[in-house]
Amino acid sequence: MNRTARAFWIGSPGHGEIRDVTLPDPAEGEVVVRSLYSGVSRGTETLVFRGGVPESQHAVMRAPFQEGDFPAPVKYGYLNVGVVEEGPEELVGRTVFSLFPHQTRFVVPASAVTVVPDSVPAGRAVLAGTVETAVNALWDAAPLVGDRIAVVGGGMVGCSVAALLSRFPGVRVQLVDADPARAKTAEALGVGFASPEEALGGCDLVVHASATEQGLARSLELLTAEGTVLELSWYGDRKVTLPLGEAFHSRRLVIRSSQVGTVSPRRANRSYADRLALALDLLADPALDALVTGESAFDELPEVMPRLTSGAVAALCHRVRYDKSA
């Protein structure tokens, strides 16, 4: 069995490289996984790539199997789908999802992988981590039948939230984004679309995921009295100014944070494993293929990551493809 692998590292902020890795022999209860796909979100991961993690958040932002430290050199990532080559008999040959960085082959505890349902193609399963974030957000938000809802920010997380909200009975869901190209994505997900200027107001709930000061301010404007903004954006080292004067208090508006690192207290009887398994089940919907907007080979990551970070390559989830012989 091949005990070598290659991994993508951020050598210095804004610069990536591929390094050779020697794998340990798997111990009892561990699995060897050969990567099929990994995914890059233009949110957190590109912020990490440019070196934008504040020092105060270095410990909080560590990925489960991260190596190195922020800002660099660091091996970072959390969307991986692969096939188990060695391990417990019931897992060998199964397609699994794990929170592992971009690497051709790796060894992890069997408890760190989740079997991908047969109804979910491996290429779509890279979305599991982001759909899991959306599940947790909606557990936090607890939308009701008939709610008027806007999702401001049509990135990977925002679109995942909108996709799940489209299944709620009687709700009005509108995806709001400054990029008119997101209208096609919204259509594929079965939700309405509007520019920030044309978005419908009177919302009971606004989920904000644009990671911009302007987007958060607009989210507050779209609320009805007593409405809530659920903040999913992570701003890294950037400061945000908000209009908390004006009618913020008289309309009794709420801004609430949500973060996938903790299972929502509203679902305290669910584990992290339960939440991820649910996200994978939800990925049986082929409409979610709309969130994968590009693909490249693993060897191309050092050239692709700077372009994803700068926006030169427009992407929601950019999928990384691995050679079977790697």
pTM over 0.85: yes
What pLDDT was estimated at residue 1? 58
Q: What is the pLDDT of residues 269-318, one digit of tens each?
A: 999 999 999 999 999 999 999 999 999 999 999 999 999 999 888 788 99
List the chain domain ranges.
Answer: 4-127+283-321, 130-267
Examine domains 4-127+283-321 and 130-267 and report if their fold is the same.
no
DSSP secondary structure letters along 80-147: EEEEEEESSTTTTT-EEEE---SBSEEEEEGGG-EEPPTTS-HHHHTTHHHHHHHHHHHHHH---TT-
| Tokens 């040959």 -> residue | 93
Domain 130-267: homologous superfamily in CATH: NAD(P)-binding Rossmann-like Domain (3.40.50.720)
Average pLDDT over residues 102-127: 97
Question: Sorting pLDDT into bands at 50, 70 and 90, what band is 107?
Answer: very high
What pLDDT was estimated at residue 259? 87
Question: Sorting pLDDT into bands at 50, 70 and 90, what band is 234?
Answer: confident
Which amino acid is residue 258, in one-letter code? S
Looking at domain 4-127+283-321, which CATH architecture does it have? Alpha-Beta Complex (3.90)
What Cα–Cα distance (Å) separates residue 322 from each residue in 61, 261, 280, 301? 26, 28, 21, 11
Q: Which of 40-49, 66-75, 89-98, 278-287 has the lowest mean pLDDT?
A: 40-49
